[in-house]
């Protein structure tokens, strides 16, 4: 076990069963990149009766639990309605938002834009064209009114919680150790949060990688060393999950050997709302 920046790193080869080797009967917090890994890990967890139980989280759930407030936290599905209520007539006309039903795609890109700035700790995106800057100014104006409306109603959201740095570690106070499994995507905001937490907890990053492939200071992959003997890997790009699935089924029909489809694009962060080709729905554009 090696230590860098108050975080502990341990590396495993591709043949090792991480869950079997790491998950123990001792109470700890376990965090996974996706829910499927979490479910698989639970199969290896066999706590003693009446003992303190470990906690298992997906990384998304863990990040959401880290911030809290005395105010009511609005769920994601409620946010578009509040957002729509603060738009003025001119904005609704420009955005071609005629009713609540039209707000959802714009809402996703609106919150996605400010989450991107927050996660990467950007005060602004520089070098924008005039039309893009106009769009940003409009977004900032809408955001100000949206957050004021939340305050008036006594509500808050994840964006405001992180802006106010309302870090909540109470749900972790019974534990000393936090384990992250094969998580290699760290935004600057989350890196800073982990460093802050490392003064109170032992934080272990378990990585199924070669040590030289991972930069422990930057918390990012620099290269990927595959096993000497591996199955055939093909990398393909499709414009939609439906097309990916169709291509996979076609391949499966023509090949006798077993095929496995791995989707590498669960989350691609970008400022879509500043795209020149942005389409809100088939008859709208921003």
Please report which confidence band the pLDDT of residue 45 belongs to, taking 50, 70 and 90 as the band edges: very high
Is 27 in contact with 53 (CB distance < 8 Å)?
Answer: yes
Contact between residue 189 and residue 120 where contact means Cβ atoms under 8 Å apart:
yes
Please say if the pLDDT value at position 142 is more than 50.
yes
Q: Is pLDDT of 153 > 80? A: yes
| 241 confidence band (pLDDT: 50, 70, 90) | low
The first and second tokens of residue 24, run together, are 């123990």
Q: Which residues contact 186 (CB under 8 A, 6 or more apart)?
A: 194, 219, 220
Q: What pLDDT digit, counting tens, does each position of 79-131 carry?
A: 999 999 999 999 999 999 988 888 999 999 999 999 999 999 999 889 999 99
Write b or e for each residue in 116-143: b if 16 or more Cβ atoms lie within 10 A of its Cβ, otherwise e: bebbeeeeeeeeeeeebeebbeebeebb
Phi/psi of residue 119, nearest 5 degrees = -60, -35
Say what the pTM is.
Answer: 0.78
CA atoms of 273 and 133, how far apart (whole Å)? 12
d(CA 43, CA 39): 7
Model confidence at 25, pLDDT cuts 50, 70, 90, reads confident
**What gap in Å lies between CA 62 and CA 67, rounded to an integer?**
9
Centroid of chain to Cα 271: 15
Q: What is the pLDDT of residues 186-218, one digit of tens each?
A: 999 999 999 999 999 999 999 999 999 999 999
Concatenating the DSSP letter of every residue in 86-120 gives T--HHHHHHHT--SGGGSHHHHHHHHHHHHHHHHT
Beta bridge partners of 10: 206
């Amino acid at each position: 076990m090696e230590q860098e920046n108050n975080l502990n790193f341990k590396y495993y080869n591709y043949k090792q069963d991480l869950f079997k080797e790491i998950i123990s009967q001792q109470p700890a917090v376990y965090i996974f990149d996706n829910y499927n890994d979490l479910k698989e890990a639970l199969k290896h967890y066999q706590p003693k009766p009446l003992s303190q139980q470990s906690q298992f989280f997906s990384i998304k759930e863990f990040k959401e639990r880290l911030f809290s407030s005395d105010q009511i936290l609005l769920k994601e599905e409620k946010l578009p309605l509040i957002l729509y209520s603060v738009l003025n007539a001119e904005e609704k006309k420009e955005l071609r938002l005629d009713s609540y039903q039209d707000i959802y795609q714009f809402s996703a890109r609106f919150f996605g834009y400010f989450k991107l700035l927050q996660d990467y700790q950007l005060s602004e995106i520089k070098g924008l064209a005039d039309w893009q800057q106009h769009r940003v100014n409009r977004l900032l104006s809408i955001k100000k009114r949206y957050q004021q409306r939340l305050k008036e109603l006594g509500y808050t959201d994840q964006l405001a919680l992180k802006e106010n740095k309302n870090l909540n570690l109470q749900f972790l106070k019974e534990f000393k150790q936090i384990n992250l499994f094969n998580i290699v995507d760290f935004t600057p905001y989350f890196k800073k949060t982990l460093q802050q937490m490392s003064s109170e907890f032992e934080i272990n990053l378990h990585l199924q990688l070669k040590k030289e492939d991972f930069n422990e200071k930057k918390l990012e992959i620099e290269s990927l060393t595959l096993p000497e003997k591996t199955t055939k890997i093909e990398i393909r790009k499709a414009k939609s999950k439906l097309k990916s699935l169709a291509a996979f089924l076609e391949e499966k029909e023509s090949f006798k050997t077993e095929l496995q489809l791995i989707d590498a694009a669960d989350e691609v962060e970008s400022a879509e709302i500043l795209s020149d080709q942005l389409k809100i729905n088939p008859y709208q554009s921003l």
